[in-house]
Structure 1
């Protein structure tokens, strides 16, 4: 067999390691069909040919088997003891009207993974004010795993979930109880600094909320910007005064939308068109004009949902495994 160039091997190696790990701990159990080459290439950010080489390498090791016309499966027959794991996805909003929201798109990703991984998924609507430590403990007792979508960490204090737990768009792991899937704040900081520098901004006001995740975003930006220009911190986490030469970095999407709404009500104009503003977490992508023009940093929420389902299943099938914080790199959406 022809030896592969080192570069091609290096690209395939992380895919091979991750797939082998998922097979070893049961995320992809015996007899389970693995995702298609196209889906693997999208998930790992590699070409289809690299995904094909990765799958072939595992097949050569006897870990995978090809079935013509059907796909690629984990080798060995399934044990009669295998079963479908039950996972609850908890969010403030569900239903038809929520499918084009942050939550809805993430849930679609979880559903995609559930079909592939043999998960029985139950969606549970629960407003933030309805959540409590006791409520989570009672709810988790009926499932093998639970995925919380949204800022429930701002409500929980000392939860004791009795099953595998994952948080999507949470920041506090509650003492390591939750694995977390979230937007990479380090990459976001790099993109934010570049955004303002490209626009010739030297002075940036930071506005947001007091949640730990927002304070981390603020601190990272503060450290990165101090060698570039001046930082301002308006009172009460408001944007403060608007000036053309002054940028505004919203560490919270809700704060950005509230400011844009107030600005439009007062002036009839669009904040994102008049001033160099940047929103951290993608909320402007899911609202009607005039606020869709707000530049924002956002992750692929469908892939985040897939990652949440896979991480939950990993913790179910590997009892005692440590929680993890999984960052997903954001992209910059410049607005309409």
Structure 2
């Protein structure tokens, strides 16, 4: 182990643990010295450009956590690649990214055709936004209106299925999955706009008069937003999944970005195992260093810190709801690392 006095700069020799079958993507990440992260730059809370010009957001920080674990440094760099909606599948299929972390819904077809989805990190659902004075309050009314929706998305397919069940045919206005869609909506190009409710919440605040609009109390789908990786490297899938589990378990155990180094001296066996002080949760088999999860926590904090930073009161202020830990009545749950 090579160590500076500053724990934030700690680094380990990354060839110490080599599994019998090495991860192809982990190998290229280490040879390159950075992780290639596919994401977006235009969605507040999830993926955007910070005032300092750096890529920020909940999804972006998930990439940073994986980079920290894979390269064994909280300062591990990521190479950010902006991926638009149609480009998500090619980015995975053509092996253009090491991880796609871009508010993407995990579906059975995408699992079969796109790549390997890792672990649900945000539970969402599709909703609708209208002007308060529109008179539109029900799903039946929505399906009789003009609706702005992005093509080639689960949003588009969910809308079609829902209105078809009601024997109604809305007027579809195809729009890009960008801020431009909300400009079209606000300028009267459609009477309703639909996307994930998290997206509606983050975009509503940027409208010229947010109070003139409302998100209907209607949810028509399950939208489990999940980071994904290229197919053909099951070990890399396991590595990314394990990092996600580590962030969730860290919140459960009270390990934060601020106290992670202090917690190294904890007597709690779960804490010691998670931070790599003793025991094993599969690091050697994955090709990771014992303290890989500790490095991820040093880089971005635990799951709750990530949420609060970007999606909670410090960010776009989306209530945690189903994204609370299971122990708090939510659906965020991870297997124990042991």
TM band (smaller chain): 0.3 to 0.5
Bigger RCO (CA 8 Å, 6+ sep): 2
Bigger Rg, structure 1 or 2? 1
- TM-score, normalised with respect to structure 1: 0.37
- TM-score, normalised with respect to structure 2: 0.37
